[in-house]
Every structure is written in C-alpha cells, then in structure tokens.
Chain A
C-alpha cells in the first residue's frame, strides 16, 4: 500500500468531520502534495454537503426568528451609532452634561443617578476581593426577579443577566453606566435568549459607580426612557 492509498481511506472520515484532529492535520499536509487525494476530496465533498438536506424538515419556531432579528438589529443600530459619532461615549457624555442635543435628558439622568445611588446600598454587593489592578472583579445586583453580574477585568467588563422576561419585537435591552453621578449610555443593545439570559460588553469601566439596564425602543436611545429593570453598584476602593 503506497502513501496515497494509506491516506485515501481517511478522506471520507475527514470530509464527514470525524477524523481525529491530529490525523486530520496530517491528511491536510499530505494532500498538499497529493493530487489524487485532493481530487478525491473535491469529488466526494458534494456528497457530504448534501447530507444535511436529508434531515426531515421541521419548521423553526417563529420566536427564534424574532430573537435573531432583534439581536442583529440591535447590533446594527449600535454599530451605526458608533460610526456616526467620532467618540460616541465622550460625545454622549457631553450631551448629558449639557453641551449638546442630549441636554433635555439631563434632569432624567440626574434623577436616575440619585435613585441608583440609593438602590445601590440595598441591592448590590461586591463579590470580588482585594485592591484594584487588572484581576477580574465581580459585582452583582438583583431586582424584579432578574439577577445581574458585572465581571470587570482591565478596562472593560462583561454584563450578564439571568431570568429576563422575553421582550416584545420592538424593544431591546440597553445598558448604562453612572459616572460622577451622571448616567451615560454604553452603546450596548442586547436581547435575552430563550432561557432568559442576556449578555453584553461594557468597553470602559473607568470611574463607573453603577451599571444599569433598561428596556428601550429598537435601536436604543441616548438617555433612558424607562426605569431600570436591574442595577449593579460598582464598589470603588
């Protein structure tokens, strides 16, 4: 049995995706110099590509489509906002501070700040320990049956929610942070999955005192239009 014959017996398993990883790499390396193996792969690939079509047809639940589209629309809106603004966070922060179109939201934002500081004392507690630095720290909050966790590492953080009720198609979740008593959007729009879990990233945690989440119209807003469904106080050293 020559080199080609030895490897040709593995081509089918390789295409079916079940060749052991190490052996698959070896086969790929062999195929680089073996035209007959490459031909066999090209010839048999359509047979494997066709196998999914034999799965008995089942219609996916309409809710799956709604969730997917809500998530991609939220993503697209956030991306568009990011492109439109030279420095999105800084600009919106400026607006909230009274320098731009977001000025009209300042009273609401300030009101939130007061409420959040009060809530923070009751619902939040810090799980992380030790001083600052870049080691991950976890902060949690719970309200309205929703639990929230902010895992802060380096400059940013991951925000994870659990037990979130499903949203109507025209709504998304939007994350906000409070710095120096003022509420700022973090351009993080997201939706819960089928199990009520939802996650997003917060790019800049510097000086953040509280993280909160509200339900907002599709595409998000530059200032909260509803009361937070959950807040997470961030303990500062």
Chain B
C-alpha cells in the first residue's frame, strides 16, 4: 500500500525500507531526499567529477530500488549501508576509468556546506555535528595515519598499493590504519558520552 509524502516523511529509514521493497515511489523519494546529498557528496569525493558522481549516485539508488532494498539491520544504520553502496560503486567507477588517481587533498579544511538552520531538521543538524566531529578527529590524527585511511577509503587503494605509494613497509601501513581508526572511534565514543 502506497503512503503519501507527509506520512512517509514521518517514518524512520528502517520503516521506509519495506515500503521501498514494495515499490513505493513516495517512500523512495523521501529516502532520496534524506540521503541523496550525502551520497552525491561521497561519490564526488571519490571520483572527483560531477558527471561521474551523478552516474554513481543514480546507479546506487536504482540498485537499492530494484534489489528490493535488501537491508540488514545487523550491518548498521540504513544511511551507513546506503553510503557503503555508493562508496563501493564509486571505487568501481574509479577503477574502471582511465584515471586511477582519486582526488585526495590532505590539507582540505573544507567542512560541510552550511545551509540555513531553519532548513535543517534536528536529525540533519546532528549529522552535521557528527560530521564536524569526524572531520575534526581526522584532522587531529597524525598525518601519516589520516593519509592511509583516506587513501584506503576514498581512493580504494589496497594496503600493498599504499605501502608502495608511500614507500613504507606493509606492516607500517596496517598499523597506521588500525591506530587511526581506533583514535577516530575513541573520539566518537567520547563525543557520545
């Protein structure tokens, strides 16, 4: 049974999933409006090109629609799951393209683009705050740790590739990755305390 826009907007992501699986366009529209911006931003961050980012975002959302939204609650939030789909598709697009090198700017101080406060829902504001915290946590990491995490997550480079690129032993790359993630996780935990 299809829901109208107003009802769909009141539903949590987890509640929208069964509706999307049942091919409800309004549920899909609400889901896209919530997460399309983050998905496109992530895709752009990985592929570094507006057209390619559009393609990746479109493919990811259509895949979600056509696959019946096979969401597994044990794998984290719906948003995290959706963004992991986008990230994987973006990395695939990057690898398939001629230019392998991702756009990575380690000195990038840019933060989320500000929108007027009245346009933001409470949830968005929380995400914004979390994003700021994560960005801060990444910035506070030693450069060698943040670099391997960004090369891996946004560039899709394997540990061996990063080891070669940076000219450091594989074990060092593994250690930096683990230490960096542990520090981010620690800061997240502190922020939630």
Contact = CB atoms under 8 A, between A and B. Distances in A.
A69 B153 contact: no
Contacts, number: 163
Contacts of B177: 12-13, 16
Contacts of B88: 17
Interface string B151-193: 0111011111000000000010011011011101100100000
B24 A76 contact: yes
Interface of A: 8-13, 15-20, 43-61, 64-65, 67-69, 71-73, 75-76, 79-80, 193-194
Contacts of A43: 185
Given A52-B38, A59-B40, A75-B23, 10 more contacts: A13-B152, A19-B159, A51-B153, A53-B112, A54-B135, A56-B110, A56-B112, A58-B41, A65-B32, A72-B65
A158 B82 CA distance: 28
Given A9-B175, A61-B54, A64-B40, A54 B138 contact: yes
Given A48-B181, A53-B134, A64-B40, A69 B29 contact: yes
Interface string B36-59: 111111101100001101110110
B3 interface: no
B178 A12 contact: yes
Nearest to A10: B174
B149 interface: yes
Interface string B80-111: 10011011100100000000000000001011
Contacts of B77: 49
A72 B57 CA distance: 14
A53 B87 CA distance: 12
B18 interface: no
Which 9 pairs across A and B sit closest by C-beta, in order of nearness? A60-B40, A55-B45, A49-B80, A53-B131, A12-B177, A57-B113, A47-B185, A57-B112, A52-B83
A64 B131 contact: no
Chain B interface bracket (under 10, 10 to 19, 20 to 34, 35 or more): 35 or more
Contacts of B23: 72, 75-76, 79-80
B142 to A, nearest CB: 15
B18 to A, nearest CB: 15
A59 B53 CA distance: 11
26 contacts: A8-B178, A9-B175, A12-B178, A13-B177, A18-B159, A19-B159, A20-B158, A47-B182, A47-B184, A47-B185, A49-B76, A49-B80, A50-B131, A53-B112, A54-B138, A55-B38, A57-B41, A58-B37, A58-B40, A58-B113, A60-B37, A64-B36, A71-B62, A71-B65, A72-B62, A75-B66
Contact of B87 (A17, A46, A64): A17
A49 to B, nearest CB: 4
A58 B44 contact: yes
Nearest to B105: A56
A50 B58 contact: no
A76 B1 CA distance: 12
A53 B38 CA distance: 7
A53 B61 contact: no
Interface string B18-36: 0000011100110011001
B184 A50 contact: yes
A47 to B, nearest CB: 4
Nearest to A69: B29
A57 B37 contact: yes
Contact of B42 (A8, A9, A10, A55): A55
B130 interface: yes
B94 to A, nearest CB: 13
Contacts of B70: none
B140 interface: no
Contacts of A16: 149, 152-153, 177, 181
